[in-house]
Structures are given as C-alpha cells and as structure tokens.
Amino acid sequence: MLKTERIIEAFKKIDRADFVLDEYRDEAYSDYPLPIGHGQTISQPSTVAFMLELLEPQEGEKILDVGSGSGWTTALLARIVGPGGKVFGLELIPELVKFGSENLSKYNFPWSEIQQGEKGHFAPHRAGGSGTRFDRTLVSAAGDEMPQALIDRLKIGGRLVMPIQNSVWKADKISETKLNKTEFPGFVFVPLK
C-alpha cells in the first residue's frame, strides 16, 4: 500500500498507540478503526496510508488537516512536511482538540498544532486568517459534497483528499474555477459536521 519513502518513514516513526485511548492500546496495531470517544474514531492504518498516498504531501508544505480527532494524521503530516512546513489540525469537538493536542505533544513538532474548529469554517485562527491558502488539505470525515470553503483555501496546484459519502475523492485545483476530481469508492467514515 505505501510507496512513498517520506510516508513510509512517518508510519515507522509515529506510533499509532500514542493516539488511541488507553483501553484500546492492545489493538493499536490492528488494521481497523478504533473509538476515540464522542462518536468518533481513529481511522484504520490502511485507509490513512491510502489517503496520504493520494494526498502526496511534500516537505515544506502548508497542510490543513480537517477532523484531526486523536491527532494521528496531524502528527504523520508534520513528520512528512518537516520543520520547513506547517500543519494545522482542525477539530470541532473540544475534548478531542485537547486529546489530539496532548497526543501531538508527545512528538517534537512545533510546526504543527490542533485548533478548535467551527462548523462550516475552515480557517485556522493562527494560520493567518481567512486569506490563508494551503498546498494540501486532508479531510478525515465524510461529507455529502466538497465544501467550497475548502476548495477556496487551496492554492492553485494544491490537492484536497476527502471522503464524500462512501468514496474517497482526490481533487486537484487547476485554476480558481477548475478542479480535476477522481473518485475511489468503497469506504466508510464518520460524518463531517
């Protein structure tokens, strides 16, 4: 499943066990989702690997991680982009903002953080406000459609990977008005709120 060296290295260095609830630690290395509380899950490793390969994050990029949950994907992305990049995790559920931030703090990634999100808004407060554009955006909860606000936040040449209903979609922003989209069916995610 994994083909990209920086992604493989991130999976080796970022321990999923650091991002699960204590009662699921024995199952941290199993390839299925695990509950993290509040009706949310940490995605199964093979799905995260698939989505990261689609995303193609690069060293030095600015990345938005929507639905950061336990902080695992934020940490993986932070490892990939390195200190020249920046990763902003957004999470709606305050208890998961705290949980994810505590988990992320187990690693020395000062170029990454998890912030409290607001429903329908995708602008991390400390990312520079509503005019901020991202090289990549990863969404880890399923929507009914691609939110225009996320598309607007992508740089031209940027990429968005997100689940829509029961598929994972990859969208490349070609211009301010054109996206190239590719669908990969056969997935189940918690709903985007």
9: amino acid identity, one letter: E
Predicted local distance difference test score (pLDDT) of residue 120: 67
Residue 54 is assigned to a structural domain of this protein: yes
Pairing between β-strand 34-37 and β-strand 40-42 as defined by DSSP bridges: antiparallel
Residue 192 is assigned to a structural domain of this protein: no
Q: Is 43 a catalytic residue?
A: yes
Which is the catalytic residue, given 43, 68, 70, 101? 43
Residue 165 is assigned to a structural domain of this protein: yes
Distance, CA of 52 to CA of 4 (rounded, Å): 9
Residue 75 is assigned to a structural domain of this protein: yes
Cβ burial of 189 (10 Å; 0-12, 13-18, 19+) is buried
Which helix (H) or strand (E) segment is 162 a member of?
strand 154-164
Residue 129 is assigned to a structural domain of this protein: yes
Domain ranges, residue 69:
5-185
Look up the CATH number of the domain holding residue 119.
3.40.50.150
Residue 193 is assigned to a structural domain of this protein: no
Predicted local distance difference test score (pLDDT) of residue 104: 98
Distance, CA of 156 to CA of 185 (rounded, Å): 26
Residue 191 is assigned to a structural domain of this protein: no
Q: Name the residue among 111, 81, 83 with its Cα closest to residue 4.
A: 81
Predicted local distance difference test score (pLDDT) of residue 190: 76
Per-residue pLDDT of the chain (193 residues; tens, 9 = 90+): 689 999 999 999 999 999 999 999 999 999 999 999 999 999 999 999 999 999 999 999 999 999 999 999 999 999 999 999 999 999 999 999 999 999 999 999 999 999 998 876 666 666 555 567 999 999 998 889 999 989 999 999 999 999 999 999 999 999 999 999 999 998 888 777 6
Predicted local distance difference test score (pLDDT) of residue 10: 97
DSSP 111-130: TEEEEE-BTTB---GGGTST
**How many domains are contained in the chain?**
1
Residue 134 is assigned to a structural domain of this protein: yes
The structure's pTM equals 0.94
